[in-house]
Chains A and B, each alone.
With several copies, the nearest count.
Chain A
Amino acid sequence: MRKDLVLGMAGSGGDGIVSAGESLLLAAALEGYHGVMTKSFGSQIRGGESSCRVRISTNPVLNPGGNLDVAVALNWEDFLKFGAELPVSGSTVVIYEAATGVAETDIPLVGVTPLQVFAVPISEMAKSAAGTERAKNTVVLGLIAGWFGIGAVAVMQGIRKRLAKKGQELVDANQRAFDLGIAFAREHPLKSDMAIAPAEAKGTPKLLTDGNDMCAAAAIFAGCDFFGGYPITPSTEIMQFFTDHVWKYGGAVLQAEDEIAGIGAAVGASFAGKKAMTATSGPGLSLKTEMMGLASIAELPLVIVDVQRGGPSTGLPTKSEQSDLFAAAFSAHGDVIRPVLAPTSVADTFAVTVEAFNIAERYQTPVIILSDQEISQRKETLDPIDTSRFVIEERLRPGAADLQGYKRFKDTDTHISPISHPGMPGGTYLASGIEHTEVGSPTNSGSVHQKMNDKRTKKFAPLKERRDLFEVAGNPAAPLALVAWGSVAGVCREALLLAREQGLDVKLLVPTLLYPVAEQAYQDFFTSVKAGLVVELSHLAQFHKVLRMHLDLPAGVKSMARSGANPFLPTEIVGALQHLLSELQRSHEGLLQPQE
């Protein structure tokens, strides 16, 4: 029996494909499986194409998976709109709505013959069982339970819970639709058994959430008391979570009139002594540029989340991309260093967010969390997180001694100055975006400017020494390497396993800290490296360029980059590694022995 199954389903908005995916993931979670689900939509608000991809596994899931094991098309136009997002291979089982009238022999998939194809009268079954087409997705869930053994019990539990108040009749109708799906599967067995093995850790309660909710929850855990923001896809859910929960902790949210006011309010809250956050996506990040510079020179802690989507400008608002790194690291005029962190999954979004607040507080600086549409909106099952492991840092407050002739911007040996806030007796000072002296008086002295620039940059030195912000997997001495960040890191983690299975001696570097660039961490990693790939969803290969800017990469390290909405497959990454290897072997024969 298989340990891992990747399903992709597409239909038009009304088909309830996404809620089917959610029921499926929930069921899998209840049955103790690991799972992840991503959604993707057209630009219509309603009635447009929508799809989801659900990956269920007996082991922890690294990413939403590559080629589909199971493809479900409620109609072909919509399915095809998702192109590379729902890739069908020779080992895919394709299930589609018979009512489309398309013959199993000529489904519109070019250049591939699926393992098996089923035209299923889904809507017909829905009508006969439930009297309404709206039960189509329940039929699909039945088919999946029947063929692949997921959620035979748990799916209906969930549905029952959900529909409870809507009355028994509706529940029964769905039960009939579900059973009909199972029955159909039984009557049409697969060539080869594809049922998934039972989950090991059955029963242990799992967490189920997406990147945005996790980010907001982590922020509140880290002590964030204020959120100022403005809605924008795909980051809005972060603000929504705050509006639902932050009040409970004495905090507040401001849905501002625009992004500038949103971050402005957060800057104000931080000045007033509270941990503050704002969240946005590309266009909003661009608008926050000036305020980010203010926070840097005023040395105010602040966490800014940028959930990346396709750019430039409005670009592709519902698709994932990694093209905001330049903006995150370099936007805002003047000489300023602003730390940038990136999560790679829903799970580590928790740690990364807490870390962002710690860094912001410790170094009195804005910190950017660069998430992306995939992580922010994908749902993941996770094992419970032991929050007691996490240290929560607070900004350095002035003591009685500091308050004698208080110097807000005192250049200490750590270059970090004790910071007061309104309400604190003896700590009054003038915060400003103008260059200022240690006491905070405006100045236009070149020497003070040089001194303050030194202070504001040198304070980050210890941050660049941190090794815990860099994950290295695989053989530390490997000559082949992968480097990736954000959601693409998950794909590379799987590529790493795959490549090692194929005998490649590879390692993987996944940085959580993207900027400032910790030269040493990379140099240590690259010492053993002869060839490798920096993999990213950025047309300009922004991450590869930022690395070049700060270190001399081994000649054999190349960029593997392309535009967003064109997700990488683990297999193609391994393919690229194979190619590099052969080149390398041609260049210096016998240098590398594929490991046993």
Chain B
Amino acid sequence: MSATCEFQAKDYRSDLKPIWCPGCGDYAVVQGVYRALAAIGRPPHEIAFVSGIGCSSRIPGYTTAYGFNSVHGRALPIAQGIKLANPDLLVLAAGGDGDGFSIGGGHIAHLIRRNMDITYLVMDNQIYGLTKGQLSPTSQKGRITCTSHYGSLEAPVNPLLYVLAYGAGFVAQACPSDLVGMAAILEEAIRFPGFAFVNIQSPCVTYGEEAQQLKGLKAISQSLAELHHDPSDRLAAMDLAQEYGTKLHLGVFYKNPDPAPTFEALVKERQALLMKGAPPRERILDLFIKS
């Protein structure tokens, strides 16, 4: 891994012009990412930034990292392949609430139990933005959208509680209402040695409801630090997480004080162990010799 040298936020900004709606919360998110990356200082070419499909999933293209705007819901499997192929890379994954918790919802638990050092940020806007405003898994019950003119009949998922139950080592929430705080949380998440999850309440100005705009979010937001929440207490974190959707807790819900070894670390050990005295690739067929 190359020594970290001086980088500034702008070094991570690509010249692809974002095509988000004016006022979209994702503009702030990508700013936060620039700042966090600058603080960490890895050169852009040592960063792989993977996303699925959605407005939010456009984010890798707006950075100077190696980006992969893949298919809907599959950012995490691809990110894992990248990490295992080259553990030295800084691997970021990002996407929307639908991308992550609806179509992609089956992948999160497995990445978490493998505990690869990947940071996953979800831009949670309680709506399907790119497809122009259908229910998302985080839309509240009763929500009226173009696929629910009579109101949603489903309770929303709870990203924070789910990820805590899955055993994530780092779980936090941020919001563009506090850009500095968001950048700091992202930095901490990336620095965390293991899987880290950051749920970002990122308003959709076009299809979001009044209450889900910055003003509304500010009204229900509440700093976990001020609550003197102990981020090493997982059960307490789960309890707080239950308030997702009613309160907006900002900060770190849970940070494992002694992080488990990462999957890639265990792989490296295993490789080191088995590489000794292994026959070269061109002799691998010897395994099949019978005599």
Interface residues of A (CB under 8 A from B): 26, 29-30, 42-48, 205-209, 213-214, 217, 220-221, 223, 225-226, 228, 230-233, 236, 239-240, 243-245, 247-252, 254-262, 264-274, 276, 283, 290-291, 294, 298, 313-314, 350, 382, 384-385, 387-388, 420-434, 441-442
Contacts of A294 in B (CB 8 A): 70-71
Residue A433 contacts which of B70, B146, B149 (CB distance < 8 angstroms)? B70
| Interface size, B (range) | 35 or more
- Does B5 have its Cβ within 8 Å of any Cβ on chain A? no
Give Cα distance in the complex from A271 to B284, angstroms: 26
Query: Known contacts A250-B271, A428-B45: does B149 contact A244 (CB below 8 Å)?
Result: yes
Question: DSSP class of B's interface residues: helix, strand, loop or mixed?
Answer: mixed
B230-260 with Cβ < 8 A to chain A: none
Bound-state CA distance A199–B206 (Å) is 40
How long is the Cα–Cα vector from A385 to B282 in the complex, in angstroms?
10
A-B contact pairs, 8 of them (CB 8 A): A44-B20, A207-B290, A217-B287, A228-B81, A240-B134, A243-B148, A388-B282, A442-B61
Contact in complex: B85, A274 (CB < 8 Å): yes
Q: Is the CB of A46 within 8 A of B146?
A: no
Q: Which of A30, A221, A271, A427 has the most CB of B within 10 A?
A: A271
* Interface residues, chain B, with chain A CB atoms under 8 Å away: 14, 16, 19-22, 43-48, 50, 53, 55, 58, 60-61, 64-74, 76-86, 88-89, 102-103, 105-107, 109-110, 128-132, 134-135, 137, 146-150, 206, 267, 270-271, 273-275, 278, 281-285, 287-291
Query: Given A250-B271, A256-B77, A442-B61: A422 and B89 within 8 A (CB)?
Result: yes
Min CB distance A550 to B, Å, is 30
Given A209-B288, A225-B85, A422-B66, are A272 and B48 also a contact pair (CB < 8 Å)?
yes
Residues of A within 8 Å of B128, CB to CB, are 231
Q: In this complex, what residue of B is CB-closest to A224? A: B281
B58: chain A residues at CB < 8 Å are: 442
Additional 19 contacts, C-beta under 8 A, given A45-B129, A255-B147? A208-B288, A221-B281, A247-B274, A248-B275, A252-B85, A255-B148, A256-B77, A257-B103, A257-B107, A270-B81, A271-B78, A272-B86, A283-B71, A294-B70, A422-B47, A431-B69, A431-B70, A433-B53, A434-B69
Give min CB distance, B127 to chain A, whole Å.
11
Q: Which residue of A lies closest to B67 (CB)?
A: A430
Instruction: Tell whether, in the assembled complex, residue B150 and residue A247 are in contact, meaning their CB atoms are under 8 Å apart.
Output: yes
Select one of A213, A233, A240, A432 contacting B69, CB under 8 A. Answer: A432
Task: Verify B67–A220 contact, CB threshold 8 A.
Answer: no
CA distance A26 to B131 in the complex (A): 26
Residues of A within 8 A of B67 (CB): 428-432
B88–A257 contact, CB under 8 A? Answer: no
Q: How far is the CB of B180 from chain A (nearest CB, A)?
A: 27
Interface centre among B46, B278, B281, B283 (most CB of A within 10 A): B281
